[in-house]
Copies of this chain bind each other. A is one copy, B any other.
């Protein structure tokens, strides 16, 4: 008894794991490709869960990219799984397995996981940001995950930092969002644009964020400037989030956050410059996420246990 199954939905892979009571080390786990010709994603998921099923499963937790509604368990849409359009994900799981299922988006659940099992342990007010292809947020306030009325709270990559009509384009189609400045994609767009405008660099064409980070490490000025700009806007946004949520810890996850001083130095300088009262920074911890690729599974585990009241 007391087993929980976690599912981490990604555009390329589905992962699932079974956890025993009070443990965060899986008893069983498995990974498959999300999509295969002639098969529905949900059918692949059901089969995957059957394979790691054990007696005494109390609940299933699911982490998925959004937008989705955690209150109803419906995935409204998600860019990499086209067949899911207002798809009742938790209802499908509950019908098949006869146990309660709980859903939230990947960034919220990564934040929840970092709070329960990672860098945020012991804190009550946590701001988690993943800076990767996009930018996502997860917020814990007084030991509760912030979900919001429609379940769409903490979409922190999509706050406007520059309202100008020519501000950079975001992945969501709007302009001037944090994600447009500080995500890997935002960094790539900026470098490509500067190169096209004739700016000198050791790079050319449309380099990836990884290539830009490497070039910055070798002293390329444009590449360094791209990370400096990303860090500065991240600092402006995080100052706004401190003024809004006033957390005791800021946790940065995602690939771009692992660029070391390249991003971190301009980020911290910008944050200090933009915080409008020094007290926000008193005792504030700025930490790197600890859970890496396991954040989704562990967040889904934490969600299921929270909902079960365990």
* Given A67-B277, A144-B142, A279-B67, A244:B156 Cβ within 8 A: yes
Task: Say whether A148 faces chain B, with CB atoms less than 8 Å apart.
Answer: yes
* B158 and A161 form a contact (CB under 8 A): no
Residues in B neighbouring A124, C-beta threshold 8 A: 149
* B172 and A148 form a contact (CB under 8 A): no
Contact of A244 among B150, B239, B244, B279 (CB under 8 A): B244
Name the distance in Å between A205's Cβ and chain B's nearest Cβ: 29
* B246 and A149 form a contact (CB under 8 A): yes
Task: Say whether A206 faces chain B, with CB atoms less than 8 Å apart.
Answer: no
Task: Say whether A272 faces chain B, with CB atoms less than 8 Å apart.
Answer: no
Residues in B neighbouring A147, C-beta threshold 8 A: 246
> Which of A238-255 touch B at CB < 8 Å?
239-241, 243-248
* Given A155-B276, A279-B76, A150:B246 Cβ within 8 A: yes
* A276 and B172 form a contact (CB under 8 A): yes
Which residue of A76, A144, A146, A276 has the most chain B CB atoms within 10 A of its CB atom? A276
Contact of A148 among B149, B152, B155, B245 (CB under 8 A): B245
* B161 and A243 form a contact (CB under 8 A): no
* A153 and B67 form a contact (CB under 8 A): no
Contact of A162 among B149, B153, B162 (CB under 8 A): B162
Residues in B neighbouring A239, C-beta threshold 8 A: 160
Where chain A touches its partner, the secondary structure class is loop
Select from chain B the residue with minimum beta-carbon distance to A279. Answer: B150
Task: Say whether A295 faces chain B, with CB atoms less than 8 Å apart.
Answer: no
Which residue of A67, A241, A248, A280 has the most chain B CB atoms within 10 A of its CB atom? A280
* A236 and B172 form a contact (CB under 8 A): no
* Given A277-B152, A279-B76, A279-B152, A245:B146 Cβ within 8 A: yes
Task: Say whether A10 faces chain B, with CB atoms less than 8 Å apart.
Answer: no
Residues in B neighbouring A248, C-beta threshold 8 A: 149
Contact of A159 among B156, B162, B240 (CB under 8 A): B240
Binary contact track A72-83/B, C-beta < 8 Å → 1, others 0:
000010000000
Query: CA of A187 to CA of B208 in the docked complex: distance in angstroms?
Result: 44
* B277 and A243 form a contact (CB under 8 A): no
Task: Say whether A226 faces chain B, with CB atoms less than 8 Å apart.
Answer: no
Task: Say whether A289 faces chain B, with CB atoms less than 8 Å apart.
Answer: no
Residues in B neighbouring A286, C-beta threshold 8 A: none
Binary contact track A158-171/B, C-beta < 8 Å → 1, others 0:
11111100000000
Task: Say whether A282 faces chain B, with CB atoms less than 8 Å apart.
Answer: yes
| 17 A–B pairs (Cβ distance < 8 Å), ordered by A | A125-B149, A141-B141, A141-B146, A149-B283, A150-B246, A150-B280, A152-B243, A152-B280, A153-B245, A154-B246, A155-B243, A158-B243, A158-B276, A172-B276, A174-B274, A177-B276, A240-B240
For the complex with contacts A141-B141, A172-B276, A240-B240, 7 further pairs of A-B residues with Cβ separation under 8 Å are A67-B277, A67-B279, A141-B148, A148-B246, A158-B276, A159-B240, A163-B236
